A and B are shown apart, each in its own frame.
Chain A
Amino acid sequence: MELTSPTDFAKDIVQSVQDYSLLAGRSLANLFRHPRYFADMMQQADLIGVGSLPIVVLTGTFTGAVLALNSAHTLERFGSLSLIGQLVSVGMVTELGPVLTGLMVAGRNSSGMASELGSMVVTEQIDAMRALGTDPTKKLITPRVISTIFMLFFLTIISDFVGLIGGGIVSSLMFGMDWHQYWSSAWQTLKFQDVFTGLLKPVLFGFIIATVGCYYGISARGGTQGVGRATTQAVVASSVLIIAVDFFATRLILSIFGYR
Protein backbone atom coordinates (compact mmCIF):
# COMPACT_ATOMS: atom_id res chain seq x y z
CA MET A 1 0.00 0.00 0.00
CA GLU A 2 1.31 3.44 -0.95
CA LEU A 3 1.80 5.80 1.97
CA THR A 4 0.48 9.36 1.66
CA SER A 5 2.73 12.17 2.79
CA PRO A 6 1.36 14.35 5.66
CA THR A 7 1.35 17.37 3.32
CA ASP A 8 -0.75 15.58 0.70
CA PHE A 9 -3.06 14.28 3.43
CA ALA A 10 -3.56 17.81 4.81
CA LYS A 11 -4.13 19.14 1.28
CA ASP A 12 -6.75 16.45 0.63
CA ILE A 13 -8.60 17.40 3.81
CA VAL A 14 -8.56 21.12 2.98
CA GLN A 15 -9.68 20.32 -0.57
CA SER A 16 -12.55 18.15 0.74
CA VAL A 17 -13.70 20.85 3.17
CA GLN A 18 -13.58 23.42 0.37
CA ASP A 19 -15.51 21.19 -2.04
CA TYR A 20 -18.12 20.38 0.60
CA SER A 21 -18.55 24.06 1.52
CA LEU A 22 -18.97 25.04 -2.13
CA LEU A 23 -21.52 22.29 -2.73
CA ALA A 24 -23.44 23.13 0.45
CA GLY A 25 -23.46 26.85 -0.38
CA ARG A 26 -24.51 26.25 -3.99
CA SER A 27 -27.32 23.90 -2.92
CA LEU A 28 -28.97 26.79 -1.06
CA ALA A 29 -28.01 29.54 -3.51
CA ASN A 30 -29.74 27.56 -6.29
CA LEU A 31 -33.05 28.38 -4.61
CA PHE A 32 -32.65 31.91 -5.96
CA ARG A 33 -31.71 30.81 -9.51
CA HIS A 34 -33.77 29.44 -12.38
CA PRO A 35 -34.81 26.76 -13.10
CA ARG A 36 -36.29 25.47 -9.84
CA TYR A 37 -37.30 21.83 -9.74
CA PHE A 38 -40.47 21.77 -7.60
CA ALA A 39 -41.60 18.41 -8.98
CA ASP A 40 -38.27 16.84 -7.97
CA MET A 41 -38.59 18.46 -4.52
CA MET A 42 -42.03 16.91 -4.07
CA GLN A 43 -40.76 13.50 -5.20
CA GLN A 44 -37.83 13.68 -2.78
CA ALA A 45 -40.11 14.91 0.03
CA ASP A 46 -42.24 11.82 -0.52
CA LEU A 47 -39.23 9.49 -0.56
CA ILE A 48 -37.53 11.09 2.45
CA GLY A 49 -40.55 12.10 4.53
CA VAL A 50 -43.22 9.49 3.92
CA GLY A 51 -40.63 6.76 3.43
CA SER A 52 -38.98 7.50 6.79
CA LEU A 53 -42.25 7.81 8.71
CA PRO A 54 -42.50 4.18 9.94
CA ILE A 55 -38.96 4.09 11.40
CA VAL A 56 -39.36 7.54 12.94
CA VAL A 57 -42.69 6.61 14.58
CA LEU A 58 -41.29 3.35 15.95
CA THR A 59 -38.06 4.97 17.20
CA GLY A 60 -39.92 7.91 18.75
CA THR A 61 -42.49 5.72 20.53
CA PHE A 62 -39.97 3.34 22.03
CA THR A 63 -37.56 6.14 22.99
CA GLY A 64 -40.32 7.95 24.89
CA ALA A 65 -41.36 4.66 26.49
CA VAL A 66 -37.86 3.68 27.60
CA LEU A 67 -37.19 7.22 28.85
CA ALA A 68 -40.28 6.98 31.04
CA LEU A 69 -39.33 3.49 32.17
CA ASN A 70 -35.79 4.40 33.20
CA SER A 71 -36.64 7.70 34.86
CA ALA A 72 -39.69 6.30 36.67
CA HIS A 73 -37.56 3.99 38.81
CA THR A 74 -35.29 6.86 39.87
CA LEU A 75 -38.16 9.30 40.47
CA GLU A 76 -40.13 6.69 42.44
CA ARG A 77 -37.28 6.48 44.99
CA PHE A 78 -37.68 10.20 45.70
CA GLY A 79 -41.47 10.06 45.60
CA SER A 80 -41.55 12.32 42.57
CA LEU A 81 -43.23 10.05 40.04
CA SER A 82 -45.49 12.92 39.01
CA LEU A 83 -42.46 14.58 37.36
CA ILE A 84 -42.21 11.81 34.78
CA GLY A 85 -44.24 13.75 32.18
CA GLN A 86 -41.94 16.77 32.50
CA LEU A 87 -38.84 14.65 32.14
CA VAL A 88 -40.06 12.77 29.07
CA SER A 89 -41.37 15.96 27.52
CA VAL A 90 -38.19 18.04 27.90
CA GLY A 91 -35.93 15.09 27.04
CA MET A 92 -37.86 14.21 23.89
CA VAL A 93 -38.48 17.73 22.57
CA THR A 94 -35.06 19.25 23.17
CA GLU A 95 -32.73 16.31 22.62
CA LEU A 96 -33.84 12.78 21.88
CA GLY A 97 -36.53 13.60 19.33
CA PRO A 98 -34.34 15.72 17.03
CA VAL A 99 -31.14 13.67 17.46
CA LEU A 100 -32.65 10.21 17.09
CA THR A 101 -34.86 11.26 14.19
CA GLY A 102 -31.80 12.85 12.57
CA LEU A 103 -29.75 9.69 13.06
CA MET A 104 -32.54 7.48 11.68
CA VAL A 105 -33.04 9.67 8.62
CA ALA A 106 -29.25 9.89 8.16
CA GLY A 107 -28.96 6.10 8.18
CA ARG A 108 -31.75 5.75 5.66
CA ASN A 109 -31.41 8.76 3.38
CA SER A 110 -27.82 9.99 3.58
CA SER A 111 -26.70 6.53 2.45
CA GLY A 112 -29.43 6.45 -0.20
CA MET A 113 -28.35 9.80 -1.63
CA ALA A 114 -24.66 8.82 -1.63
CA SER A 115 -25.31 5.52 -3.39
CA GLU A 116 -27.75 6.98 -5.93
CA LEU A 117 -25.54 9.92 -6.89
CA GLY A 118 -22.39 7.78 -6.67
CA SER A 119 -23.86 5.27 -9.15
CA MET A 120 -24.76 8.14 -11.44
CA VAL A 121 -21.19 9.45 -11.28
CA VAL A 122 -19.50 6.12 -12.07
CA THR A 123 -21.88 5.40 -14.97
CA GLU A 124 -21.26 8.90 -16.42
CA GLN A 125 -24.91 9.90 -15.90
CA ILE A 126 -23.83 13.09 -14.11
CA ASP A 127 -21.55 13.99 -17.04
CA ALA A 128 -24.41 13.16 -19.42
CA MET A 129 -26.69 15.50 -17.46
CA ARG A 130 -24.11 18.30 -17.73
CA ALA A 131 -23.68 17.52 -21.42
CA LEU A 132 -27.45 17.85 -21.86
CA GLY A 133 -27.24 21.38 -20.46
CA THR A 134 -28.65 20.67 -16.99
CA ASP A 135 -26.89 21.67 -13.78
CA PRO A 136 -26.77 18.55 -11.54
CA THR A 137 -26.56 20.69 -8.39
CA LYS A 138 -29.89 22.32 -9.30
CA LYS A 139 -31.60 19.17 -10.55
CA LEU A 140 -30.30 16.62 -8.03
CA ILE A 141 -28.79 18.29 -4.96
CA THR A 142 -30.99 21.32 -4.16
CA PRO A 143 -34.26 19.32 -4.22
CA ARG A 144 -32.73 16.75 -1.84
CA VAL A 145 -31.41 19.40 0.57
CA ILE A 146 -34.65 21.40 0.69
CA SER A 147 -36.84 18.30 1.00
CA THR A 148 -34.70 16.81 3.77
CA ILE A 149 -34.74 20.05 5.81
CA PHE A 150 -38.49 20.44 5.34
CA MET A 151 -39.42 16.83 6.03
CA LEU A 152 -37.04 16.33 8.98
CA PHE A 153 -38.67 19.31 10.66
CA PHE A 154 -42.08 17.62 10.54
CA LEU A 155 -40.73 14.14 11.22
CA THR A 156 -39.16 15.48 14.41
CA ILE A 157 -42.49 16.96 15.53
CA ILE A 158 -44.13 13.57 14.90
CA SER A 159 -41.29 11.79 16.72
CA ASP A 160 -41.68 14.13 19.76
CA PHE A 161 -45.43 13.55 19.80
CA VAL A 162 -45.31 9.75 19.58
CA GLY A 163 -42.46 9.76 22.12
CA LEU A 164 -44.73 11.57 24.58
CA ILE A 165 -47.48 9.03 23.84
CA GLY A 166 -45.00 6.16 24.41
CA GLY A 167 -43.94 7.69 27.71
CA GLY A 168 -47.59 8.20 28.65
CA ILE A 169 -48.47 4.57 27.93
CA VAL A 170 -45.61 3.31 30.15
CA SER A 171 -46.45 5.81 32.93
CA SER A 172 -50.14 4.93 33.04
CA LEU A 173 -49.99 1.19 32.37
CA MET A 174 -46.86 0.25 34.34
CA PHE A 175 -46.75 2.90 37.06
CA GLY A 176 -50.46 3.64 37.39
CA MET A 177 -50.08 7.33 36.72
CA ASP A 178 -53.13 9.32 35.67
CA TRP A 179 -53.05 9.92 31.91
CA HIS A 180 -54.36 13.53 32.20
CA GLN A 181 -51.86 14.37 34.91
CA TYR A 182 -49.02 13.01 32.79
CA TRP A 183 -50.17 14.87 29.73
CA SER A 184 -50.77 18.24 31.42
CA SER A 185 -47.40 18.14 33.23
CA ALA A 186 -45.65 17.20 29.98
CA TRP A 187 -47.36 19.99 28.10
CA GLN A 188 -47.09 22.74 30.70
CA THR A 189 -43.41 22.25 31.42
CA LEU A 190 -42.37 23.12 27.88
CA LYS A 191 -41.02 26.65 27.48
CA PHE A 192 -40.36 28.65 24.34
CA GLN A 193 -36.65 27.83 24.39
CA ASP A 194 -37.38 24.07 24.53
CA VAL A 195 -39.63 24.23 21.48
CA PHE A 196 -37.22 26.58 19.70
CA THR A 197 -34.30 24.22 20.39
CA GLY A 198 -36.32 21.23 19.28
CA LEU A 199 -37.34 22.86 16.02
CA LEU A 200 -34.01 24.50 15.17
CA LYS A 201 -32.01 21.29 15.42
CA PRO A 202 -33.88 19.35 12.69
CA VAL A 203 -33.25 22.23 10.30
CA LEU A 204 -29.50 21.97 10.94
CA PHE A 205 -29.53 18.16 10.91
CA GLY A 206 -31.55 18.02 7.69
CA PHE A 207 -29.02 20.28 6.00
CA ILE A 208 -26.16 18.08 7.25
CA ILE A 209 -27.81 14.79 6.19
CA ALA A 210 -28.54 15.92 2.64
CA THR A 211 -25.36 17.88 1.91
CA VAL A 212 -23.07 15.18 3.35
CA GLY A 213 -24.93 12.41 1.47
CA CYS A 214 -24.84 14.36 -1.79
CA TYR A 215 -21.20 15.38 -1.31
CA TYR A 216 -19.98 11.81 -0.82
CA GLY A 217 -22.16 10.63 -3.71
CA ILE A 218 -20.99 13.24 -6.16
CA SER A 219 -17.32 12.69 -5.18
CA ALA A 220 -17.51 8.88 -5.52
CA ARG A 221 -14.67 7.39 -7.57
CA GLY A 222 -13.61 3.87 -8.37
CA GLY A 223 -16.65 1.95 -9.61
CA THR A 224 -19.03 -0.02 -7.41
CA GLN A 225 -16.42 -0.31 -4.65
CA GLY A 226 -16.15 3.47 -4.59
CA VAL A 227 -19.93 3.79 -4.36
CA GLY A 228 -19.99 1.39 -1.41
CA ARG A 229 -17.24 3.37 0.32
CA ALA A 230 -19.06 6.65 -0.32
CA THR A 231 -22.27 5.23 1.17
CA THR A 232 -20.54 4.13 4.38
CA GLN A 233 -18.64 7.40 4.70
CA ALA A 234 -21.84 9.40 4.21
CA VAL A 235 -23.62 7.63 7.08
CA VAL A 236 -20.62 7.84 9.42
CA ALA A 237 -19.85 11.50 8.64
CA SER A 238 -23.46 12.68 8.84
CA SER A 239 -24.09 10.80 12.13
CA VAL A 240 -20.93 12.18 13.76
CA LEU A 241 -21.68 15.67 12.47
CA ILE A 242 -25.24 15.51 13.83
CA ILE A 243 -24.00 14.68 17.32
CA ALA A 244 -21.21 17.29 17.19
CA VAL A 245 -23.50 20.01 15.84
CA ASP A 246 -26.10 19.03 18.47
CA PHE A 247 -23.60 19.91 21.20
CA PHE A 248 -22.64 23.26 19.67
CA ALA A 249 -26.24 24.18 18.85
CA THR A 250 -27.33 23.38 22.43
CA ARG A 251 -24.44 25.40 23.81
CA LEU A 252 -25.32 28.35 21.58
CA ILE A 253 -29.02 28.27 22.49
CA LEU A 254 -28.19 28.01 26.19
CA SER A 255 -25.88 31.00 25.91
CA ILE A 256 -28.73 32.98 24.31
CA PHE A 257 -31.65 31.88 26.51
CA GLY A 258 -29.77 30.71 29.63
CA TYR A 259 -30.45 27.49 31.56
CA ARG A 260 -34.07 26.52 32.24
Chain B
Amino acid sequence: MAAPPTAVENRLRTTEHIQSPVIAFEDVSIAFEANSVLEDISFHLNRGETKAIFGIAGSGKSTILKLAMGLVKPDSGRIDVLGNDITQMREEDLFELRRQIGMVFQESALFDSLTVRENVAFRLMEEHQISEEEIERRVRESLRFVELERTVDMFPSELSGGMRRRVAIARAIVTRPEILLYDSPTGGLDPVTSTTIIELIVKQRDVYKTSSLLVSHRLQDAFVMASHYFDRDKGRMLPLLILRQGKIIFDGDIHELAHSKDEYIREYIS
Protein backbone atom coordinates (compact mmCIF):
# COMPACT_ATOMS: atom_id res chain seq x y z
CA MET B 1 0.00 0.00 0.00
CA ALA B 2 1.34 3.45 -0.89
CA ALA B 3 2.46 5.72 1.92
CA PRO B 4 0.12 8.63 2.76
CA PRO B 5 1.14 11.92 1.11
CA THR B 6 3.43 14.13 3.12
CA ALA B 7 2.53 17.67 4.08
CA VAL B 8 4.85 18.97 1.34
CA GLU B 9 3.16 16.74 -1.27
CA ASN B 10 -0.26 17.92 -0.11
CA ARG B 11 0.87 21.53 -0.36
CA LEU B 12 2.23 20.92 -3.87
CA ARG B 13 -1.04 19.25 -4.93
CA THR B 14 -3.08 22.13 -3.51
CA THR B 15 -0.90 24.67 -5.33
CA GLU B 16 -1.26 22.65 -8.53
CA HIS B 17 -5.04 22.56 -8.00
CA ILE B 18 -5.17 26.33 -7.45
CA GLN B 19 -3.03 27.05 -10.49
CA SER B 20 -4.81 24.59 -12.80
CA PRO B 21 -7.05 26.35 -15.30
CA VAL B 22 -10.77 26.12 -14.62
CA ILE B 23 -11.44 26.82 -18.29
CA ALA B 24 -9.04 25.92 -21.10
CA PHE B 25 -9.73 26.47 -24.81
CA GLU B 26 -7.34 24.73 -27.20
CA ASP B 27 -7.53 25.47 -30.92
CA VAL B 28 -11.30 25.87 -30.81
CA SER B 29 -13.08 26.68 -34.06
CA ILE B 30 -16.74 27.07 -34.82
CA ALA B 31 -18.72 28.17 -37.86
CA PHE B 32 -22.44 28.78 -38.28
CA GLU B 33 -23.40 27.57 -41.75
CA ALA B 34 -20.76 29.18 -44.02
CA ASN B 35 -19.69 31.89 -41.53
CA SER B 36 -16.58 31.12 -39.55
CA VAL B 37 -17.08 32.71 -36.11
CA LEU B 38 -14.04 31.50 -34.14
CA GLU B 39 -10.81 30.12 -35.60
CA ASP B 40 -8.27 28.21 -33.51
CA ILE B 41 -9.00 30.10 -30.28
CA SER B 42 -6.79 29.13 -27.31
CA PHE B 43 -6.77 30.64 -23.83
CA HIS B 44 -6.82 29.64 -20.16
CA LEU B 45 -8.75 30.97 -17.20
CA ASN B 46 -6.99 30.12 -13.97
CA ARG B 47 -8.67 29.54 -10.63
CA GLY B 48 -9.57 32.80 -8.90
CA GLU B 49 -8.75 34.80 -12.02
CA THR B 50 -11.08 37.26 -13.76
CA LYS B 51 -10.49 37.48 -17.49
CA ALA B 52 -12.16 39.94 -19.84
CA ILE B 53 -12.54 39.33 -23.58
CA PHE B 54 -13.30 42.31 -25.81
CA GLY B 55 -14.59 42.56 -29.33
CA ILE B 56 -17.08 44.36 -31.52
CA ALA B 57 -20.66 43.10 -31.98
CA GLY B 58 -20.72 39.84 -33.94
CA SER B 59 -17.09 38.99 -33.21
CA GLY B 60 -18.05 35.77 -31.41
CA LYS B 61 -17.80 36.93 -27.78
CA SER B 62 -21.08 35.37 -26.66
CA THR B 63 -20.23 32.21 -28.60
CA ILE B 64 -17.11 31.77 -26.43
CA LEU B 65 -19.27 31.78 -23.29
CA LYS B 66 -21.82 29.42 -24.83
CA LEU B 67 -18.98 27.09 -25.80
CA ALA B 68 -17.58 27.26 -22.25
CA MET B 69 -21.02 26.39 -20.90
CA GLY B 70 -21.44 23.53 -23.40
CA LEU B 71 -24.55 25.16 -24.87
CA VAL B 72 -23.00 24.86 -28.35
CA LYS B 73 -20.41 22.36 -29.54
CA PRO B 74 -17.25 23.46 -31.40
CA ASP B 75 -16.47 22.15 -34.86
CA SER B 76 -12.92 21.38 -33.76
CA GLY B 77 -10.63 21.82 -30.77
CA ARG B 78 -10.89 20.95 -27.11
CA ILE B 79 -12.55 22.76 -24.19
CA ASP B 80 -11.76 21.74 -20.62
CA VAL B 81 -14.03 23.03 -17.87
CA LEU B 82 -13.17 22.12 -14.27
CA GLY B 83 -11.04 19.28 -15.60
CA ASN B 84 -13.70 17.83 -17.92
CA ASP B 85 -13.38 17.78 -21.70
CA ILE B 86 -16.87 19.10 -22.41
CA THR B 87 -16.59 18.55 -26.18
CA GLN B 88 -16.85 14.81 -25.50
CA MET B 89 -19.63 14.98 -22.91
CA ARG B 90 -23.29 14.12 -23.49
CA GLU B 91 -25.91 16.80 -22.84
CA GLU B 92 -27.24 14.69 -19.95
CA ASP B 93 -23.83 14.80 -18.20
CA LEU B 94 -23.33 18.48 -18.95
CA PHE B 95 -26.35 19.42 -16.78
CA GLU B 96 -24.46 18.21 -13.72
CA LEU B 97 -21.34 20.22 -14.64
CA ARG B 98 -23.34 23.36 -15.42
CA ARG B 99 -24.60 23.42 -11.83
CA GLN B 100 -21.07 24.50 -10.84
CA ILE B 101 -21.10 27.41 -13.28
CA GLY B 102 -23.14 30.60 -13.17
CA MET B 103 -23.93 32.57 -16.29
CA VAL B 104 -25.30 36.09 -16.70
CA PHE B 105 -26.88 36.40 -20.12
CA GLN B 106 -26.67 39.50 -22.32
CA GLU B 107 -30.39 40.25 -22.03
CA SER B 108 -30.65 38.73 -18.53
CA ALA B 109 -32.82 35.81 -19.80
CA LEU B 110 -34.95 35.83 -16.67
CA PHE B 111 -38.00 33.54 -16.75
CA ASP B 112 -40.73 36.08 -17.41
CA SER B 113 -43.56 34.00 -15.94
CA LEU B 114 -41.74 33.61 -12.60
CA THR B 115 -41.23 36.19 -9.86
CA VAL B 116 -37.79 37.46 -8.90
CA ARG B 117 -37.82 35.05 -5.94
CA GLU B 118 -38.65 32.07 -8.19
CA ASN B 119 -36.05 33.13 -10.74
CA VAL B 120 -33.27 33.37 -8.18
CA ALA B 121 -34.41 30.20 -6.42
CA PHE B 122 -34.78 28.22 -9.67
CA ARG B 123 -31.59 26.21 -9.37
CA LEU B 124 -32.05 25.58 -5.65
CA MET B 125 -35.62 24.33 -6.19
CA GLU B 126 -34.40 22.02 -8.95
CA GLU B 127 -32.15 20.26 -6.45
CA HIS B 128 -35.28 19.07 -4.55
CA GLN B 129 -33.28 18.55 -1.36
CA ILE B 130 -33.09 22.02 0.11
CA SER B 131 -35.72 23.15 2.61
CA GLU B 132 -37.96 26.11 1.76
CA GLU B 133 -36.52 28.12 4.67
CA GLU B 134 -32.98 27.56 3.38
CA ILE B 135 -34.01 28.51 -0.16
CA GLU B 136 -35.65 31.71 1.11
CA ARG B 137 -32.54 32.58 3.15
CA ARG B 138 -30.18 32.08 0.22
CA VAL B 139 -32.43 33.93 -2.21
CA ARG B 140 -32.57 36.93 0.11
CA GLU B 141 -28.82 36.76 0.67
CA SER B 142 -28.20 36.83 -3.11
CA LEU B 143 -30.67 39.64 -3.64
CA ARG B 144 -29.10 41.58 -0.76
CA PHE B 145 -25.74 41.18 -2.51
CA VAL B 146 -27.14 42.95 -5.59
CA GLU B 147 -29.15 45.34 -3.36
CA LEU B 148 -32.51 44.26 -4.73
CA GLU B 149 -34.12 42.49 -1.79
CA ARG B 150 -37.22 44.65 -2.11
CA THR B 151 -38.01 43.25 -5.58
CA VAL B 152 -38.44 39.67 -4.35
CA ASP B 153 -42.16 39.46 -5.24
CA MET B 154 -41.98 41.41 -8.50
CA PHE B 155 -42.00 40.00 -12.02
CA PRO B 156 -39.10 40.69 -14.44
CA SER B 157 -41.37 42.87 -16.61
CA GLU B 158 -41.76 45.25 -13.64
CA LEU B 159 -37.99 45.82 -13.38
CA SER B 160 -35.71 48.20 -15.27
CA GLY B 161 -32.96 46.84 -17.56
CA GLY B 162 -30.27 47.39 -14.92
CA MET B 163 -32.36 45.73 -12.20
CA ARG B 164 -32.99 42.74 -14.44
CA ARG B 165 -29.24 42.42 -15.00
CA ARG B 166 -28.67 42.53 -11.23
CA VAL B 167 -31.32 39.85 -10.64
CA ALA B 168 -29.56 37.75 -13.29
CA ILE B 169 -26.33 38.14 -11.29
CA ALA B 170 -28.18 37.12 -8.11
CA ARG B 171 -29.54 34.04 -9.90
CA ALA B 172 -26.06 33.14 -11.15
CA ILE B 173 -24.37 33.42 -7.74
CA VAL B 174 -27.07 31.89 -5.54
CA THR B 175 -25.39 28.47 -5.54
CA ARG B 176 -21.89 29.97 -5.09
CA PRO B 177 -20.61 28.56 -8.40
CA GLU B 178 -16.94 27.88 -9.07
CA ILE B 179 -17.01 29.85 -12.32
CA LEU B 180 -19.02 32.87 -13.39
CA LEU B 181 -19.56 33.81 -17.02
CA TYR B 182 -20.74 37.35 -17.82
CA ASP B 183 -22.09 38.01 -21.30
CA SER B 184 -21.89 41.78 -21.95
CA PRO B 185 -23.25 42.57 -18.48
CA THR B 186 -23.25 46.33 -19.13
CA GLY B 187 -24.52 46.20 -22.72
CA GLY B 188 -27.33 48.68 -23.37
CA LEU B 189 -27.16 50.24 -19.90
CA ASP B 190 -26.55 53.87 -18.93
CA PRO B 191 -23.12 54.76 -17.44
CA VAL B 192 -24.36 54.93 -13.84
CA THR B 193 -26.08 51.53 -13.99
CA SER B 194 -23.06 50.07 -15.83
CA THR B 195 -20.81 51.16 -12.98
CA THR B 196 -23.21 49.52 -10.50
CA ILE B 197 -23.01 46.24 -12.44
CA ILE B 198 -19.20 46.39 -12.67
CA GLU B 199 -19.07 47.14 -8.95
CA LEU B 200 -21.04 43.94 -8.33
CA ILE B 201 -18.62 41.96 -10.51
CA VAL B 202 -15.63 43.46 -8.66
CA LYS B 203 -17.39 42.68 -5.34
CA GLN B 204 -17.93 39.07 -6.40
CA ARG B 205 -14.28 38.85 -7.53
CA ASP B 206 -12.80 40.34 -4.34
CA VAL B 207 -15.21 38.94 -1.76
CA TYR B 208 -15.82 35.38 -3.04
CA LYS B 209 -12.71 35.05 -5.30
CA THR B 210 -14.81 33.37 -7.99
CA SER B 211 -13.09 32.60 -11.30
CA SER B 212 -14.83 34.76 -13.89
CA LEU B 213 -14.87 35.19 -17.62
CA LEU B 214 -16.40 38.42 -18.91
CA VAL B 215 -17.07 39.38 -22.50
CA SER B 216 -17.90 42.96 -23.41
CA HIS B 217 -17.44 45.59 -26.08
CA ARG B 218 -16.84 48.34 -23.48
CA LEU B 219 -13.14 48.80 -22.73
CA GLN B 220 -13.95 51.09 -19.80
CA ASP B 221 -15.43 48.06 -17.99
CA ALA B 222 -11.98 46.46 -18.00
CA PHE B 223 -10.28 49.68 -16.87
CA VAL B 224 -12.69 50.06 -13.97
CA MET B 225 -12.29 46.40 -12.98
CA ALA B 226 -8.50 46.58 -13.24
CA SER B 227 -8.16 49.84 -11.37
CA HIS B 228 -10.57 49.24 -8.48
CA TYR B 229 -10.98 46.88 -5.59
CA PHE B 230 -13.95 46.24 -3.33
CA ASP B 231 -13.61 47.57 0.20
CA ARG B 232 -15.70 45.33 2.46
CA ASP B 233 -15.60 47.78 5.35
CA LYS B 234 -16.82 50.72 3.32
CA GLY B 235 -19.12 48.47 1.25
CA ARG B 236 -18.12 50.04 -2.05
CA MET B 237 -15.62 49.91 -4.88
CA LEU B 238 -12.51 52.08 -4.40
CA PRO B 239 -9.64 53.09 -6.67
CA LEU B 240 -6.32 51.29 -6.40
CA LEU B 241 -3.83 52.03 -3.71
CA ILE B 242 -0.12 51.34 -4.09
CA LEU B 243 1.93 50.89 -0.97
CA ARG B 244 5.67 51.32 -0.52
CA GLN B 245 7.46 50.76 2.77
CA GLY B 246 4.25 51.09 4.78
CA LYS B 247 3.11 54.30 3.06
CA ILE B 248 0.49 54.91 0.37
CA ILE B 249 2.33 56.29 -2.66
CA PHE B 250 -0.62 56.12 -5.08
CA ASP B 251 -4.38 56.57 -4.67
CA GLY B 252 -6.23 57.10 -7.93
CA ASP B 253 -7.74 55.71 -11.10
CA ILE B 254 -6.09 53.91 -14.03
CA HIS B 255 -5.65 57.13 -16.00
CA GLU B 256 -3.72 58.78 -13.18
CA LEU B 257 -1.75 55.55 -12.71
CA ALA B 258 -0.73 55.45 -16.38
CA HIS B 259 0.42 59.08 -16.27
CA SER B 260 2.16 58.92 -12.90
CA LYS B 261 5.61 60.53 -12.89
CA ASP B 262 6.74 58.58 -9.82
CA GLU B 263 9.76 56.47 -10.83
CA TYR B 264 8.79 53.57 -8.55
CA ILE B 265 5.25 53.42 -9.95
CA ARG B 266 6.47 53.66 -13.56
CA GLU B 267 8.81 50.80 -12.96
CA TYR B 268 6.07 48.87 -11.11
CA ILE B 269 3.53 49.08 -13.93
CA SER B 270 5.96 48.71 -16.82
Contact present for A135 and B107 (CB under 8 Å) = no
Q: With an 8 A cutoff between CB atoms, is A128 at the interface?
A: yes
Given the known inter-chain contacts A131-B71, A131-B101, A133-B123, please indicate yes or no for A123 contacting B112, CB distance below 8 A.
Answer: yes
Name A128-172 residues within 8 Å CB distance of B: 128-135
Contact present for A123 and B109 (CB under 8 Å) = yes
A46-62 vs B, CB cutoff 8 Å, 1 = contact: the mask equals 00000000000000000
Contact present for A133 and B96 (CB under 8 Å) = yes
CA–CA, A13 and B254, complex, Å: 56
A97-135 vs B, CB cutoff 8 Å, 1 = contact: the mask equals 000000000000000000000011001110111111111
Contact present for B109 and A135 (CB under 8 Å) = no
Q: Give the total of A residues in contact with B, Cβ under 8 Å.
A: 15
Which of A35, A128, A133, A135 is in CB contact (< 8 Å) with B111? A128
- For the complex formed, measure the closest distance between the CB of A7 and the CB atoms of chain B, giving whole angstroms: 15
CA–CA, A123 and B106, complex, Å: 10
Given the known inter-chain contacts A125-B109, A127-B105, A128-B105, please indicate yes or no for A133 contacting B71, CB distance below 8 A.
Answer: no
Which of B105, B106, B126, B171 is in CB contact (< 8 Å) with A134? B126
Q: Give the total of B residues in contact with A, Cβ under 8 Å.
A: 23
Name B218-257 residues within 8 Å CB distance of A: none
- For the complex formed, measure the closest distance between the CB of B175 and the CB atoms of chain A, giving whole angstroms: 9
CA–CA, A42 and B71, complex, Å: 29
Name B67-98 residues within 8 Å CB distance of A: 69, 71, 91-92, 95-96, 98
**Residue of B whose beta carbon sits closest to that of A119:** B112
Contact present for B122 and A132 (CB under 8 Å) = yes
Contact present for B98 and A35 (CB under 8 Å) = no
Q: Collect the chain A residues with CB atoms within 8 Å of residue B176's CB.
A: none
Q: Collect the chain B residues with CB atoms within 8 Å of residue A35's CB.
A: 126, 128
Q: With an 8 A cutoff between CB atoms, is B103 at the interface?
A: yes
**Residue of A whose beta carbon sits closest to that of B105:** A124
- For the complex formed, measure the closest distance between the CB of B265 and the CB atoms of chain A, giving whole angstroms: 42
Given the known inter-chain contacts A131-B69, A132-B123, please indicate yes or no for A125 contacting B96, CB distance below 8 A.
Answer: no
CA–CA, A132 and B95, complex, Å: 8
Contact present for B71 and A130 (CB under 8 Å) = yes
Q: Collect the chain B residues with CB atoms within 8 Å of residue A134's CB.
A: 95, 122-123, 126
CA–CA, A125 and B71, complex, Å: 12
Q: Collect the chain A residues with CB atoms within 8 Å of residue B138's CB.
A: none
**Residue of B whose beta carbon sits closest to that of A134:** B126
Identify 10 residue pairs between A and B in the complex whose beta-carbon atoms are under 8 Å apart, listed by A's number: A124-B106, A125-B112, A127-B109, A128-B110, A130-B69, A132-B126, A132-B171, A133-B123, A133-B126, A135-B91
Closest 4 pairs between A and B when the two form their complex, measured CB to CB: A128-B109, A133-B99, A124-B109, A131-B103
16 further interface pairs, Cβ-Cβ under 8 Å (given A125-B112, A132-B98)? A35-B126, A119-B112, A123-B112, A124-B107, A125-B109, A128-B109, A128-B111, A130-B71, A131-B69, A131-B101, A131-B105, A132-B99, A132-B122, A134-B95, A134-B122, A135-B95
Q: Which residues of A contact B (CB under 8 A)?
A: 35, 119-120, 123-125, 127-135
Q: Which residues of B contact A (CB under 8 A)?
A: 66, 69, 71, 91-92, 95-96, 98-99, 101, 103, 105-107, 109-112, 122-123, 126, 128, 171
